[in-house]
Structure 1
Amino acid sequence: MTGSAASPSFRLAYVPGVTPGKWVRIWQERLPDIPLELLAVSAAEASGVLRDCTADAALVRLPVDRTVFSAIPLYTETSVVLVPQDHVVTAADEVSTEDLADDVVLHPLDDVLDWERPPGQPALERPATTADAVDLVAAGIGLLVVPQSLARLHHRKDLTYRPVVDAPQSGVALCWPEDATTELVEDFIGIVRGRTVNSTRGRVQAPAQTQPERKRAEPKGGARKPAPGKGARGGAGGTRGGSGGSQSPRRGKPRRRS
């Protein structure tokens, strides 16, 4: 699932709004000989490309089926309401779902927010995609609540957005099949978790210091030899005739008896 033994590669799928660029750059620095292939998929397609091994791992929106997939939550996004530039909502810095009660709020079929009940008035039909819903917002048909990254992805000069303080939020996670935790998957896990290249938990590590290098780093013969005049006997200057410190007793001529 990481390519042939002769030419391994790592295939990473990602859903709209997720930007894997930072992690891809780190991968290329640490593993320049192993290509990382990016695969853009819709939120609905993400689990399928993992099940059929089209991708080794994916950056997805939660929730995922934890009986099949392992997942590491990475971050949670703010939800925003996308509105025309001249909408009354733009007068506030943030809004609540109650503030949207009198507006038509579009609920596309690929909506990634887990609503118990979507806010506002329902549209006559649900748009097929978020991109279709954005076009309807621009046409003045209704408003749209999405994760902030999707509002940025579908940016238009005639639209803006405001945070919705009590809307469900979308969590983004790294996900992979539980029974396919390969060494390359472990490498990518280390990258998204911010492990350094020398981390003992990461597979890719800096070369250990070799035995000859360790020998060169140590003084020859192990412990440092004492400098001349500083032998072990008698402490500093403990050799016979030395100056300073404690010395051996003098052996002069005996005194003449009177």
Structure 2
Amino acid sequence: MLRVGFIPGVEPDRFARRWRSGQRPARLELVPVPLSRQAEVLGTGEVDMCFVRLPLEADGEDTAGGPGELHLVELWEERPMVVVGSENILSLHEELTVADLAEDPEIPSAHPDDAADRVAVVATGVGHALLPMSLARLHHRKDVVHRPLADAPATRIALAWPRAADDAVRQEFVGAVRGRTARSSR
């Protein structure tokens, strides 16, 4: 069995369908993982691989650039979004810049798993929250809107797994994520 974790905002269904479409060497189990535990679940072996949001931090340190503990395959970038109440004047813009946000207070993140709480505060008409696009969509409500933030860096999603646990099954899953089917060759 191959246990693959995924953080909020990542939708692993298309990869799971591709994996299950042919004769694969292991059964796939998808495991939801809170953002705050993305590095931990890899270290403890709770999952074999995990879709993670970079930078991958463990105990306050960035492990993504660490000396070879994890394989990281960067997959895509997520556009930064501004979430505001639907009555906020900023909701009238199609796209926002950091300068546009100068007069509107930001609801800061208290911990990595608080996106839904910050969106709830924004829905009351107080301030704005900055979220990756996938989280803004995941926590969408009728009383908020999200707009692209043009001049902020994107976040990146990657597939990570321990270097010490690399094997043919994991490499096969990487191939499936990159678009190979059971019938295609490397």
TM-score by length of 1: 0.65
Give deviations 1:201-227, integer Å, cap 9, x for gaps.
3xxxxxxxxxxxxxxxxxxxxxxxxxx
What residue in structure 2 maps to residue 194 of structure 1?
Answer: 179
Give deviations 1:101-129, integer Å, cap 9, x for gaps.
11111111335xxxxxxxxxxxxxxxx71
- The answer to whether residue 153 in structure 2 is matched with residue 168 in structure 1 is yes
Count the aligned residue pairs: 177
Match of 1:129 among 105, 114, 122: 114
User: Identity of counterpart residues, as a percentage?
Assistant: 36
Evaluate the alpha carbon distance shift between residue 31 and residue 196 of structure 1 in structure 2; reply closer, same or farther with a 3 A threshold.
Answer: closer
Residues 59 and 175 of structure 1 are in contact (CA less than 8 Å); yes or no, is this contact kept in structure 2? yes
Moved more, 62-71 or 136-145: 62-71
> Post-superposition shift, 1:33?
7.2
What residue in structure 1 maps to residue 45 of structure 2?
Answer: 53
What residue in structure 2 maps to residue 150 of structure 1?
Answer: 135
Residues 75 and 156 of structure 2 are in contact (CA less than 8 Å); yes or no, is this contact kept in structure 1? yes
Match of 1:44 among 1, 22, 36: 36
Letter of the 2:70 partner, please give it: F
Evaluate the alpha carbon distance shift between residue 63 and residue 31 of structure 1 in structure 2; reply closer, same or farther with a 3 A threshold.
Answer: farther
Larger helix proportion of the pair = 2
What's the Cα RMSD here?
1.6
What residue in structure 2 maps to residue 212 of structure 1?
Answer: none
Residues 7 and 35 of structure 2 are in contact (CA less than 8 Å); yes or no, is this contact kept in structure 1? yes
Residues 43 and 110 of structure 1 are in contact (CA less than 8 Å); yes or no, is this contact kept in structure 2? no
Letter of the 2:44 partner, please give it: D
Moved more, 83-92 or 168-177: 83-92
Letter of the 2:71 partner, please give it: S
TM-score by length of 2: 0.89
- The answer to whether residue 10 in structure 2 is matched with residue 26 in structure 1 is no
User: 1:88 & 1:161 partners in 2: Cα distance?
Assistant: 12
Q: Highest CA radius of gyration, 1 or 2?
A: 1
Residues 95 and 163 of structure 1 are in contact (CA less than 8 Å); yes or no, is this contact kept in structure 2? yes
Residues 85 and 126 of structure 2 are in contact (CA less than 8 Å); yes or no, is this contact kept in structure 1? no
What residue in structure 1 maps to residue 109 of structure 2?
Answer: 108
Where does the alignment leave 5 or more consecutive residues of structure 1 unmatched?
A: 1-8, 112-127, 202-258
The SS at the match of 1:179 is: helix
